[in-house]
Amino acid sequence: MSDDPRVHALQRFLEGLRPGLNDHPEMLPTLDAVASRHALSRLLELACSAQHIGNIQLGRRYLADVPRAWLLDHIQPVAEEMLASGDDWEYRRLLELYERLDEGLLKELIARGLVSENREIREAAEDFAKKV
C-alpha cells in the first residue's frame, strides 16, 4: 500500500462512492449516473488538470481500468466541461489521454485545437497532428 497522500485521497473518494470501487475501478459503470459522472470527472481532473506527474499517472492508471466502451461513451461530455476553460495544459493532457484511448477521439480533439484562437492549444494540436 502506498504512503502517498494523493493515493489515499483518491482511495477514500472512490470508496465513498461505493465500497470496493478503489480496488475495482471497472465497477464505475455500475454506479448511478450522478456518481459515475462525479468519479469520471475526478479521474479526468487528476489525469489532465493536475500539475504533479504522480497525480496525472494516478488518474490515467484508474481510467485504464474502466471498461473502454463505457469510458468512450461517457468521457466527452465530462471533458468538455474541463476544456471550456481554454487551458492549454489541460488540452495537451487530454490529447495524451485520448492518444491512449481512441484514435477517433484524438483526431476530433486535434481538429478542434487546430482552429483554436489560443496559440498554445493550436501548437499542441499541431504537435499531435504530426504523430497521427
pLDDT digits (tens, 9 = 90+) for 37-55: 999 999 999 999 999 999 9
Cell readout for 93 is 493532457
DSSP state, residue 83: H
- Average pLDDT (98-120) is 97
| pLDDT tens track for 51-94 | 999 999 999 999 999 999 999 999 999 999 999 999 999 999 99
CA distance 78 to 82: 7
CA distance 28 to 37: 9
